[in-house]
Structure 1
């Protein structure tokens, strides 16, 4: 039965073939001894093939076992090296993240300090702005007082309507107030501009601080991640280079530039604060000095008016005495003229009666000559009395004119004193203090 079964001949293992003979070629079989045995030999190995295949399997198994052990050793070594390298790299990354956190914290603290400084500077500037506005409002009162004084002084009468030192000081005060108001407005505009620049720099620092705050949180979370963290997962694209990524130099330079700009604004703010303080101090001092000069000019002028009025009143009293004396003199002259009239009538009557003498009795005798001399004397005296009376009446008229002029001038002085002292100087008592003019 076995002689009738035909078994196909398997191929040789290529690895065994490569070790025993030429690769790709099978060993030639022994030549058949006869055609009768051809069906039994065509599917069987020879003993040498059996031994060759046996040795080949043993060698292959030994080679595979050796290779497996080598790979196992290499795998253990690679695993150990990989684990050590990975642990070291992770430790280095954690250490660098810690250093980065310290650096970010340092810059963030500096940004926070500068932000607080800018905030304090801005609040100080806003306080100075309010002081400037209050000082500007306070200048309205001196301006109203000065202009009211000028308007009141235009109502002076007569010769008292003069451009004196008081008016010059008042005009200078008005000009000074206008200049102070313009200066305060310009200074307030500078403060508003600086406040805007401070807020812009503060906003830039706050944005940088916010970015660093987020970066700190991310790096802090990254530094806390471990191999046992449950929230870690694969992000294959995270190691790719991102667009618009800055380097450490640009990162540091960016924050330094922001801090430099903030420091510049801080210095500008400090300089402006000193300027505003000096402006408020100088303007308040200048206004108060000018107010004192105006008040002194008013006081001097009121003293001059009082002195002039006193002199005028004294002179008026003398004039009134002279008028009384002159009136009495006129009365006396009139009485003298009245009293000289009877002797004149007597003398003229005597001459008239003697002119009625007849013929040779009409003689220019001694009585005639005496009577004619008496009439001439009386007429001369009467003419002198009339002349004196005319002069006395003219003098009285001039005295009356002087009295009227003195009374008018005294009335002008009283009116001027009322304007200067009761109107102007009393109004100037409401002049703001230095603290009010300084914006407090």
Structure 2
């Protein structure tokens, strides 16, 4: 306070001369009093002092706030950088899983495309067995006579036709399943690739953001960037979206694997069943041809015996005819003797021993001729039956020959073109 009083006294001495001058000049009618002057000066000094103290307080507070804000900014930026790093790891992990799933789907799709080609080839290969079996049935319809029989060969051929048609239906259904599964795989793969592309772009953006710092020269102000916050999905939805895509991809991979195993087994079993039935049909054809050959040999043997009997019977008929003709002479002699002896006169016309002998001779000759003619008739009937048997045997032999030609030359030779196991499996 003493310094303030001293300063105030000095100020009064300094202001005295100007006041006198002003008073003498007469420029002002109302003047400040010394008290007022002193109060004004004191107020000015007090205000300056207060302003200085406020400035110091503000400066101290500003330094503290600046330090605090700097610390908060560094902490927030560091936390954002760490979260970006964690986010990059999560995106990289999911991107890797998506890549693995896409590769898995691509692998299974390629396998299914190969199976699709095999199924198409196998389906095309079944046309040949069906044509062979149908042609065999058609050829065997041209058999003649009693050989046109529904034998075991025909039964097995009908089974073969039914089996081939069932296999064709199964192949078509499996082919449709493979086509649909390939379509599902491609659709799922496209979804995963879009998700992967989004994550790859996001990874690049987040990686760029993670490299930004306060010394980066390519940063700038974007005042409206925070306004998009309400339009963003939450992290759970983001995780759920990719998890659903991966789950769908896993399901399609498992479905593809199951279909692949089923197709492999089905193609193998179909080829085995077709070849097994073909072997049964071939065995039946061989047995049938053997039976036909055996029957034909028996018929030919029987025909040779019949022909021999025909020759013998013809010779027998000739001998019987000759025997009947040979009896004509004794018959004429006996009848002539009896005729002339009937011309004996009077009592000479008696029934003597020559007469009785002639009558007995005539009766014996007539009886012998009658027996010979009866035997000749029987021989002729037997010859006619033998001729009929010969014709039947020759016709039956021709039927057997025709049947053998159909079964052995037509059917069995045609069956040599039956596809192999590899062809029926689609290779």
Alignment TM-score, normalising by the size of structure 2: 0.91
* 1:301-357 CA-partner distances (Å, limit 9, x unpaired): 111101100111111111111111111111111121122221112222222222222
Other-structure match for 1:47: 34
> Relative to structure 1, is the Cα distance of residues 40 and 129 closer, same or farther in structure 2, using a 3 angstrom cutoff?
closer
Q: Residue 185 of structure 2 is aligned with which of 198, 208, 218?
A: 198
Cα deviation for residue 87 of structure 1 reads 1.8
TM-score, normalization: structure 1?
0.88
Question: Which of 338, 341, 354 is matched with 2:325 structurally?
Answer: 338
Question: Residue 111 of structure 1: which of 98, 101, 104 is its match?
Answer: 98
**Deviation of 1:243 (Å):** 4.5
> What's the CA shift for 1:80?
2.3
Correspondence 1:294 to 2:304 = no
Matched, 1:433 2:402: no
User: Equivalent residue of 2:314, what SS?
Assistant: helix
| CA–CA separation in structure 2 for the residues paired with 1:282 and 1:78 | 83
TM-superposed deviation, 1:52 = 2.3
1:312 has 2:316 as partner: no
1:368-421 CA deviation, whole Å, 9 max, x = no partner?
Answer: 111111111111111111111111111011011101110110010000000001
Q: Indicate the structure with greater helix content.
A: 2
CA distance in 2, matches of 1:246, 1:108: 19
Residue 59 (structure 2) pairs with residue 94 (structure 1): no
Aligned with residue 145 of structure 1, among 132, 143, 154: 132
- Does residue 368 (structure 1) correspond to residue 338 (structure 2)? The answer is no
Q: Give yes or no for the alignment of 1:242 onto 2:204.
A: no
| 1:269-323, Cα deviation, whole Å (9 max, x unpaired) | 1222222222212221221121111111111111110110011111111111111
Match of 2:214 in 1: 227
Choose which of 301, 308, 314 in structure 2 pairs with 1:327.
Answer: 314
Identify the residue that residue 413 of structure 1 maps to in structure 2: 400
The answer to whether the aligner puts 1:252 opposite 2:239 as a matched pair is yes
> 5 Å matches for 1:266-277?
266-277=253-264
Deviation at 1:47, TM superposition (A): 2.0
After the TM superposition, which segments of 4 or more aligned residues of structure 1 sit over 3 Å from their partners? Answer: 39-43, 241-244
Task: List gaps (5 residues or longer) in structure 1.
Answer: 1-35
Matching residue of 1:79: 66
Asked whether 1:173 is paired with 2:170, we answer no
Number of residues paired by the alignment? 405
Unaligned 5+ segments in structure 2 are 1-22
Alignment of 1:372-391 (within 5 A): 372-391=359-378
Please give the alpha-carbon distance, in whole angstroms, between the structure 2 residues aligned to 1:256 and 1:117: 16
Residue in structure 2 matched with residue 134 of structure 1 by the alignment: 121
Matched position secondary structure for 1:379? helix
For the residues of structure 1 that align with 2:423 and 2:306, how far apart are their CA atoms? Answer: 53
Please give the secondary structure, in 1, of the residue aligned with 2:229. coil
Q: Take 2:124 and 2:63, find their aligned partners in 1: how far apart are those partners?
A: 89
Instruction: Show the 5 A alignment for 1:207-218.
Output: 207-218=194-205
Ranked by relative contact order (alpha carbons within 8 Å, sequence separation 6 or more), the top structure is: 2
Distance in 2 (alpha carbons) for counterparts of 1:223 and 1:42: 76
Which one of the candidate residues 57, 60, 66 is aligned to 2:53?
A: 66
1:41 CA displacement: 7.0
Which residue does the alignment assign to 1:186? 173
Q: 2:43 aligns with which of 34, 53, 56?
A: 56
Shift of 1:46: 2.0
For residue 40 of structure 1, report the CA deviation from its aligned partner. Answer: 7.5
1:125 to 109, 112, 132: 112
Give the corresponding residue for 2:16.
none
